[in-house]
Amino acid sequence: MEKQHRNVLVLSACQATLQTGGVTLVMITGLSGLALAPNPAFATVPLTGYVLGSAMSTVPASMLMKANGRRAGFQTGTGIGVVGAALCALAIYLANFWLLCFGMMVMGCYTAFGKYYRFAAADVAQPSFRAKAISLTLAGGIVGGFVAPEMAKRTKDLFVDHVFLGSYLSLMVVCLVAALLLVYLDIPQLSEKDRKEGGRPIREIMRQPVFIVAALAGALSYGIMNLFMTSTPLAMRAHDHHFNSAAFVLEWHVVGMYGPSFFTGSLIQKFGVLKVIIAGIALLVGAVLCGLAGTGVINFWLALFILGVGWNFMYVGGSALLTECHTPAERAKTQAANDLMVFCTMAVSSMSSGMLLTMSGWHAVNYGTIPFLLLALGFTLWLMWLRRNGNSGVAPVVEATRQA
């Protein structure tokens, strides 16, 4: 087996553990927060803490991996995940809302490391395989769609007097599994020259049209998806749907998020990355329409499944597009800037979801996404127009590096 394929297999398995943890946290933390929060409007604050922890850690995580290599960085992340899960479990045992918020911030640090799995797969992939490497790595997340809901259901009542304590403890095991898998990762470190050189200033990199569209596709797709995903368990509870129904909806949402990854890379190769991103925007509009059509289980299921597919097209497309706009020496800070934008957008959407839902209802959550979808569409069409007129959207120094 070629090294690039073996690395994708390992990283895809790690993505499965990351998404198992992520979906479990989304399923249980909003409800845990609701039980412990001093005000129902604060129910999603622990999830906001989770995203803030990711946002604060994404730049240090990338710099650490630039200095010490991908495997060392990822294993550091899994150790942080074990600590975070233990803190969340302790918060449930003590019924301490603010400790839960802190524990979720630590879990966010773990996630910040794991979000680089997709870029690690692209690091050593041939240019023709790069989009597929990103897509297939993310495909491992589909495992989380099946494992996480079942794990949450089977562990939430393990301790009768402390609902969800068992679920948080189970996440410690998930992080340890990831640490074992990473032993088989084989990605060489950057050369000493690339580790020492910084390349262009980050502002110059971020001014490239390709970076702008890639970052918007990643940040807005994740922000919109997170807005829906964090509010859905609460919205379904408000409309008297059972916890198991919410688990079913989120299970199929994750299938929608990661199932298409088996062919998204091929679609990018065949139709072009910008057309795939536009298709993702169209699907997110369809998800909003399904959400506005009613509040039955079927409406939540269809909206969240279509939302997942749309997210996949935009996120994989944005990640593939990002690899076009930097040199090897600029890789760490470019990826860090991109993911920082993603996590900051997620932080806003996490905080907004609980407030929008509590104050204005489920329809307000849906309507709130429309301006951002129009923004993403406008910039993507702009880059498409530039390329049709002979402007690739990247600086000459990057094109020279790619041709070398």
Which whole-number Å values give the CA distances from 281 to 41, 180, 258, 355, in the listed order?
29, 37, 16, 25
Which whole-number Å values give the CA distances from 330 to 4, 119, 194, 324, in the listed order?
21, 13, 8, 11
Q: What is the pLDDT of residue 206?
A: 94
What are the b/e assignments for 110-132, b being 16+ CB within 10 Å?
A: bbbbbbbbbbbbbbbbeeebbbb
pLDDT in tens, 26-41: 788 878 888 888 887 7
How far, in Å, CA of 366 to CA of 224, rounded?
A: 9
User: Does 319 score more than 60 pLDDT?
Assistant: yes
Of 14-18, 41-45, 217-221, minimum mean pLDDT range: 41-45
Task: Report the number of distinct structural domains present in the chain.
Answer: 1
Q: What is the pLDDT of residue 402?
A: 62
User: Does 354 score more than 90 pLDDT?
Assistant: no
Domain CATH number, residue 101: 1.20.1250.20
pLDDT-derived band at 403, boundaries 50, 70, 90? low
Q: What is the pLDDT of residue 401?
A: 65
Q: What is the pLDDT of residue 392?
A: 87
User: Does 313 score more than 60 pLDDT?
Assistant: yes
Greater pLDDT, 128 or 334:
334
What SS3 state is found at 272?
coil
Q: What is the pLDDT of residue 367?
A: 87
pLDDT, average across residues 167-184: 95
How far, in Å, CA of 354 to CA of 226, rounded?
A: 11
How far, in Å, CA of 123 to CA of 16, rounded?
A: 20
Q: What is the pLDDT of residue 218?
A: 94
DSSP 116: T
pLDDT, average across residues 214-219: 95
Residue 242: phi and psi, rounded to 5, are: -70, 155
How large a percentage of the chain has pLDDT more than 70?
A: 98
pLDDT-derived band at 178, boundaries 50, 70, 90? very high
pLDDT in tens, 198-215: 788 999 999 999 999 999
Question: Cα 225–227–229 angle (5° rounding)?
Answer: 65
Enter the tokens of residue 137: 């790595």
User: Which of 224, 304, 320 is CA-nearest to residue 256?
Assistant: 304
pLDDT-derived band at 104, boundaries 50, 70, 90? very high
For residue 308, the enclosing domain spans 3-403
User: Does 400 score more than 70 pLDDT?
Assistant: no
User: Does 241 score more than 70 pLDDT?
Assistant: yes
